[in-house]
Structure 1
Amino acid sequence: MADAAEIVNWVVGVALALSTLVTLFLWTAPSQYDPFAHVKAQGPQAGETDEDAKFANQTRDRLSRSPEPQKTLQVVVLGDIGRSPRMQYHAISFAKHGGKVDLIGFHESELHPEVSSNKNITIVPLVPTPSALQTNSKILFLFTAPLKILWQIWTLYHILGYGTKPAKWMLVQNPPSIPTLAIAQWICFFRCTKLIIDWHNFGYSILALKLGPRHPFVRISKFYERSFSQRADTHFTVSNAMARMLQSTFNIKATTLHDRPASQFQPLTAEQRKTVLERLSETKEYAKDIQSGHWKLIVSSTSWTADEDFGLLLDALQAYSSSARERQSLPNLLVIITGKGPQKEYYLDKIQSLNQEKKLDRMLISTAWLSTEDYASLLGAADIGISLHKSSSGVDLPMKVVDMFGAGLPVLGWGKFEAWPELVREGINGRGFGSAEELTRLLQEVLEGDGKQLQKLREGASKESAIRWDDEWDEVAGKLFKFGRS
């Protein structure tokens, strides 16, 4: 009997504990989305008469039955907002139509001016991951990755569930998919928020670059990404090829929303180019030589990561230097590399060594981290843009090329992946390469001679710049959010 009583007491205790936990959870669960919360929040004002209060109540009641509730959106980036231009563009476009936006992510870099100045956009910064959990070592990665994920889970859950008001829609950048998709699904379920995933690439394919495609973590990541993404309400992709891959691999139907240049990326007139070259610290010493054609200005934007082979560009530049020693018809090069990333210091040391060995004659390679305005100006003043982006999935597209086209800058880029033809028309606005040897040959072909090839590519890039982000967004996302074209 004593044993039976102990069992009963144990069961009752467990039941009480569980019911208490459930009650606490429901009591502290994230609040639900209310499309008319902004109306209900407008309570009686100080000094308001009974007649005024009655009129205000009638107004609030009428507004609460209005077919046009306030449009609200959370844009979520588990990364540096300043280095996520597409997500900033989403926020700007939504806010331009009068919607309210919470832009959530790490606030580490300078933001787009229209983000900072727009009263309809609120920046909600995430707490940065401790530096002790950041590593490039494969061995240490296996130990620090779980801890990093736990940190991100708590930070993201707290901000989305309690640090922000519920919104009608949540637009999440993918990748990273872990833990973003799971947390977003959980919060959207409790808050009655519609989840939209903006596919820039696949998280598991990027992880495969570090661990290999057959690693168990990569397989688990793919299963996770497929499972949690299928429950979203809407999907956008950056390319048609990615939409097809989502359909065939994850059984997800997505709408393509191509990247297009924002308004600050514009072709420059000759006079504007002269002003920019003489103003920027990176170019002013060579401004006259660039304008005369004796030097050519080349720009490449890189994140200094494994999916961009900067070593390939160095190999091509060494080969170009070797040819330029013998062929005076080849111009000197000023090569400016913009961006931040983990492999930057490694390659800077390599560039220094190559200069000491005189393997980069007749050129100067420098790095820069520029404001949005200065970066757009630099692209407009350059002769050639180079993209080193190697797609981990084969179906994502480098936005840097879109920006280059916006500035009327022709592009030479790694083109050995499926989605490349969606962005670049071979021989019209750019050229694709698949090796350092091909890039060397293209540089020589385009830069040597009477300049007709370069001019043809520039004209093609300028025509491409006519299609802008607002046009694409209004046509695709604007319809989803039920915004009329302005």
Structure 2
Amino acid sequence: MAASSVAVPAMILFLPPLLLLLLLVAWKRSRRGNAARHVVVVVLGDIGRSPRMQYHALSLAKCGFSVILLGFCSSKPRDDLLHNDRIQIVCLTELQRLAVGPRLLQYGVKVVYQSVHLMWKLMWTEPASYIFLQNPPGLPAIAVCLFVGCVCGSKLVIDWHNYGYSIMGLVHGPHHPLVLLAKWYEKVCGRLSHLNLCVTNAMREDLAENWAIRAVTVYDKPASFFRETPLDLQHLLFMKLGRTYPAFRAPAGPSDSRIERSAFTERDMQSGVVTCSSGRPALLVSSTSWTEDEDFSILLTALEKYDQLRCDGERLPALVCVITGKGPLKEFYSGLINKKHLQHVQVCTPWLEAEDYPLLLGSADLGVCLHKSSSGLDLPMKVVDMFGCCLPVCAVKFRCLHELVKHEENGLVFEDAAQLATQLQTLFSKFPDPAGKLSQFRKNLRSSKILRWDESWEQTVLPLVAGT
């Protein structure tokens, strides 16, 4: 009797959602004829900070597919994506972390909410031939997309950027039960996908050997808008940034011990060559998501050593160091930066609009990458973008970096702050001499004829989905 008294209210509670789900399934199946040239791209993260998935969407649209792009809308994507008639952005609502309760409970509530919310959004979208999913984050997105794919006849394509469990391991430790559960989840669910893409050959081999997942390597490639910035656009960019960030402002009076920022524009606008042999500060750029897999104390320590060398009379240019990006550790590192007392180095940490970031890279003299893969199997897309702008790079060493950065050819590889400081001293010792090593790296990049994203995508991914 007690059991029946509980069962009846439970049936009344769950019957409407179940009926609605069945109606949605019937509706989706009735519209399967529209799915052949339709794809859903899913990012369980900020679309504006997921360039590779934006590129997938743009390439699919260029090749005649209609695309729905699902993700968080925290920052603005590129204008060419926003204004593309074949691409519709559907915003997911991000659940803010609960302020009370055990951390495991907070995480569980977030996963349940994301599962229901993502499933609801996917069920209401047009039926798709493929669901492209970025991993990580894959919990709970892989399972949800697999379920929706089974219901609606969509094929799941997982684009492996890294392993989610390895990123969790940076916070909780590799043997934490939650990390081990996440690893099992990725392994099991990943095997159920129709197609797998990955970012390096090392990851492709690891997926095959340890997870029995066959994947196709699709290297990150720079989009066409990553290129060297013309001098007139450099000037406009510096003027725009100078309205917000003091490091880009010209000094109002006589020069002092700080940086003469106005010298950035002391160039011959006709020939495009630097007209000043001294005085112009060098522009160093790094970009980051401010997460645990990037140790920016390495760069800050190297900048201190560089600043001391210049104070000791070394013939080195002053530096403007721009670190772009958003992320959880930005406040922590901003505090460290504010405590530094550098005389010949200025550090600023702006968040740039999508259209300004390529212009900044194309205006810079050197890029620095501190991405140290949690799995050792992915490559930093920021370096790909820098190379697209023919910008030489100093990058911290990890397992498969050699697939991208060629030491002493297109940049330098370092292991600690002391090595980075030495490399900065070497590269800028003859700045901006065209015969210097920095200029030679740039010449090597110019002559390498870097393959662009559209060409690479059409060679590797299009043949895999063109038969739909």
Superposition TM-score, scaled by structure 2 size: 0.87
**What is the identity, as a one-letter code, of the residue corresponding to 1:288?**
A
Task: Find the counterpart in structure 2 of residue 215 from structure 1.
Answer: 176
**What is the identity, as a one-letter code, of the residue corresponding to 1:298?**
L
Q: Indicate yes or no: 2:24 matched with 1:24.
A: no
Alignment of 1:310-389 (within 5 A): 310-355=296-341, 360-389=342-371
Task: Find the counterpart in structure 1 of residue 372 from structure 2.
Answer: 390
Offset of residue 344 of structure 1: 1.1
**What is the identity, as a one-letter code, of the residue corresponding to 1:190?**
V
Q: 1:173 aligns with which of 134, 139, 150?
A: 134
Aligned-residue identity in percent:
38
CA contact (8 A) 1:33 1:193 kept: no
Distance in 1 of aligned mates of 2:83 and 2:348: 32
Offset of residue 483 of structure 1: 7.8
Distance in 2 of aligned mates of 1:331 and 1:9: 81
Q: 1:460 aligns with which of 406, 430, 444?
A: 444
Q: 1:250 aligns with which of 198, 207, 211?
A: 211
Alignment of 1:83-162 (within 5 A): 83-132=49-98, 141-162=103-124
Distance in 2 of aligned mates of 1:24 and 1:13: 16
**What is the identity, as a one-letter code, of the residue corresponding to 2:121?**
I
Render the CA deviation track for 1:21-68: whole Å, top value 9, x for unaligned.
997376245344567644xxxxxxxxxxxxxxxxxxxxxxxxxxxxxx
Change (3 A) 1:155 1:23: closer
**What is the identity, as a one-letter code, of the residue corresponding to 2:444?**
G
Q: 2:413 aligns with which of 422, 432, 436?
A: 432
Task: Find the counterpart in structure 1 of residue 152 from structure 2.
Answer: 191
Task: Find the counterpart in structure 2 of residue 422 from structure 1.
Answer: 403
**What is the identity, as a one-letter code, of the residue corresponding to 1:397?**
L
Task: Find the counterpart in structure 2 of residue 54 from structure 1.
Answer: none
CA contact (8 A) 1:78 1:173 kept: yes
Alignment of 1:43-82 (within 5 A): 70-82=36-48
Distance in 2 of aligned mates of 1:479 and 1:324: 54
SS in 1 for 2:134: strand
Render the CA deviation track for 1:261-313: whole Å, top value 9, x for unaligned.
11111113455545544554253521425753531000110111111111111
Distance in 2 of aligned mates of 1:19 and 1:152: 19
SS in 2 for 1:151: helix
Change (3 A) 1:171 1:363: same
CA contact (8 A) 1:410 1:460 kept: no
Distance in 2 of aligned mates of 1:404 and 1:336: 14
**What is the identity, as a one-letter code, of the residue corresponding to 1:194?**
K
Q: Tell me which protein shows more helix as a share of its residues.
A: 1
CA contact (8 A) 1:299 1:382 kept: yes
CA contact (8 A) 2:67 2:88 kept: yes
Change (3 A) 1:29 1:277: closer
Q: 1:260 aligns with which of 197, 221, 225?
A: 221
Change (3 A) 1:130 1:273: closer
Task: Find the counterpart in structure 2 of residue 308 from structure 1.
Answer: 294
Render the CA deviation track for 1:443-463: whole Å, top value 9, x for unaligned.
111111245100111122334
SS in 2 for 1:236: strand
SS in 2 for 1:265: coil
- Number of residue-to-residue matches in the alignment: 439
CA contact (8 A) 2:136 2:163 kept: yes
Change (3 A) 1:168 1:418: same
**What is the identity, as a one-letter code, of the residue corresponding to 2:198?**
T
Offset of residue 230 of structure 1: 0.4
**What is the identity, as a one-letter code, of the residue corresponding to 1:160?**
L
CA contact (8 A) 2:158 2:196 kept: yes
Distance in 1 of aligned mates of 2:175 and 2:328: 24
CA contact (8 A) 1:267 1:462 kept: no
CA contact (8 A) 1:336 1:366 kept: yes
**What is the identity, as a one-letter code, of the residue corresponding to 2:336?**
K
CA contact (8 A) 2:97 2:110 kept: no
Q: Indicate yes or no: 2:229 matched with 1:229.
A: no
SS in 1 for 2:340: helix
Render the CA deviation track for 1:364-390: whole Å, top value 9, x for unaligned.
111111112211111111000111101
CA contact (8 A) 1:79 1:105 kept: yes
Offset of residue 9 of structure 1: 8.8
**What is the identity, as a one-letter code, of the residue corresponding to 1:227?**
V
**What is the identity, as a one-letter code, of the residue corresponding to 1:412?**
C
Structure 1 unaligned blocks of 5 or more: 1-5, 39-68
Distance in 2 of aligned mates of 1:400 and 1:251: 30
Offset of residue 150 of structure 1: 1.5
- Which moves more between the two structures, 166-175 or 458-467? 458-467
Task: Find the counterpart in structure 1 of residue 272 from structure 2.
Answer: none
Distance in 1 of aligned mates of 2:356 and 2:233: 13
Superposition TM-score, scaled by structure 1 size: 0.84
SS in 2 for 1:368: coil
Change (3 A) 1:304 1:8: closer
Offset of residue 145 of structure 1: 1.2
SS in 2 for 1:389: coil
Structure 2 unaligned blocks of 5 or more: 251-260, 267-275
**What is the identity, as a one-letter code, of the residue corresponding to 2:350?**
A
Distance in 2 of aligned mates of 1:372 and 1:245: 33
Offset of residue 426 of structure 1: 1.2
Taking only aligned residues, the RMSD between alpha carbons, in angstroms, comes to 2.9
